[in-house]
Amino acid sequence: MINILFAARPERWTAYEQPLRDALQAAGITAHLAEEITPAEVDYIIYAPNSDLQDFTPYTRAKAVLNLWAGVERITDNKTLRIPLARMVDPGLTKGMVEWVTGHVLRYHLGMDAHIVNPAHEWHVTTPPLAHERNVVILGLGALGTACADALLGLGFRVTGWSRSPKNVKGVDCLHGDAGLSQALNRGEIVVTLLPDTPATTDIINAQTLAQMPRGAFLINPGRGPLIDDDALIAALDNGQLAHATLDVFRTEPLPQTDPYWAHPRVTVTPHIAAATRDKTASEQLVENIRRGEAGEPFINLVDRKLGY
């Protein structure tokens, strides 16, 4: 019998219990799945970083911690965690992110706001460029960034991707390193940030990097709140360096009602909805890693603790 501890908030257990049991049955895995199991008897931990479990020392038999979240920045520095950690790469989440990013890129590309919000009832006649004439830059070429780049390529956009280390994505002009970041931002008529939250990416969108973007560019951030120096972004919006920003993630969530982003005329706030984990497809991914662990196969989506993702 495999013992699987579900260590997350009670509402997550309500959502995940049946999808996990269904996925285990479909995989032919007999397991004891529960919110409470004697630590020394636990084989796998399905985990959310905001759970009460913060000390992994008693879990001497556990083979892996399987994160429920795509983000792992709240667990990678935990010194008591000495077993493999896998992050969530959910196909449902990925599809949701692709749709959200594509929608907002098209919104900016087509200039849709001028028609949607038009209280003066003015007859705006504008002809946007075609997609192949528009440069879109994706910062971050992980699973989400690559999926979004592929979708935008399919629509005909010229896509440049940037990552900290070299990547190769078919059809995308892939750049990396400090020089590559400047080169990418210089092209960024529309910039999408999909980087992880690490010390190396904190405030990567700052006064200096914002100034490297074409004047009147657009910024879309469904990645992580700390990627952006908020004061620098507001200054760039106020002086016209950026035309508009759509932000889905923030340093403090929910975003306080007094935050200046709410009232800024060049900012669209969305409430962290760009990509949500789907219980069914996420459960299938979690169970696949359990199957792999029992079969002696490599886990998928393992986190490099030194890189932080």
DSSP state of 292: H
**Active-site choice (87, 104, 109, 224):** 224
How does DSSP assign 20-34, residue by residue? HHHHHHHTT--EEEE
* Whether 217 contacts 189, CB under 8 Å: yes
Name the nearest CA neighbour of 192 among 253, 149, 225.
Answer: 149
Task: State yes or no: is 272 an active-site residue.
Answer: yes
Place of tokens 């009232």: 263
Q: In sequence order, what are the residues at sequence separation of 6 or more whose Cβ sits closer than 8 angstroms to the Cβ of residue 75? A: 47, 49, 65, 67, 81, 85
Q: How many other CB atoms are found less than 10 A from the CB of residue 164?
A: 21
**Active-site choice (272, 291, 292, 305):** 272
DSSP state of 202: T
Tokens of 11: 């509402």
Query: Which residues make beta-bridge pairs with 66?
Result: 46, 86
| Gap between the Cα atoms of 31 and 5, Å rounded | 10
| Gap between the Cα atoms of 63 and 44, Å rounded | 6
Q: Is 7 helix (H, G, I), strand (E, B) or coil?
A: strand
- Show which residues are catalytic: 224, 272
